[in-house]
Amino acid sequence: MTSLEDTEYAIREMQVRGAPLIGVTAAFGMYLASIKNSSNEFMEKSGIFLKNARPTAVNLSWAINKILHEIKNIDVDKRKSFILNMAKKIRKDDIEACKKIGEYGSSFIEKIYNNKKSTVNILTHCNAG
């Protein structure tokens, strides 16, 4: 993805899936928007544009709202690097959270199996990483 429009398309067309990845993608989309114009007005419009790609995606709205809130006190000429660093941090934090979910889930499933001594059926909902 090289533009805000590419990012919106990838989210809308489900080329990226899973709540964490959608949020991270949106954060990098906001960075791509800031390259073009990092004014408050443009960033707000860019956030709305991305949110409309998947209106029910919680991580998407969360990442965009976090960025929009944080940049309010940042000089316009420093926003690009600030947003890029925020996107990288969101990515890093989400990778760590997904890893912890997997580790916890694995031990939880193992405990169930050890008690049951037979197949453990798992129903997943969405993709949490």
Residue 6 token pair: 């590419």
Count of structural domains, the chain:
1
Residue 41: the pLDDT is: 97
User: Taking residues 90-94, what's their average pLDDT?
Assistant: 97
CB atoms within 10 A of CB 114: 9
Is 36 part of any domain?
yes
Is 67 part of any domain?
yes
Burial (CB < 10 A; 0-12, 13-18, 19+), residue 85, is exposed
Please give the Cα distance from 34 to 76 (Å, whole number): 9
Tell me the backbone φ, ψ of residue 73, rounded to 5 degrees.
-105, 15
Residue 124: the pLDDT is: 76
22-76 pLDDT tens trace: 999 999 999 999 999 999 999 999 999 999 999 999 999 999 999 999 999 999 9
107-117 pLDDT tens trace: 889 999 999 98
Give residue 69's domain range.
4-91
Which CATH number goes with the domain that contains 73?
A: 1.20.120.420
| Per-residue CA distances from 72 to 9, 41, 58 (Å) | 27, 11, 22
Q: How high is the mean pLDDT of the chain?
A: 94
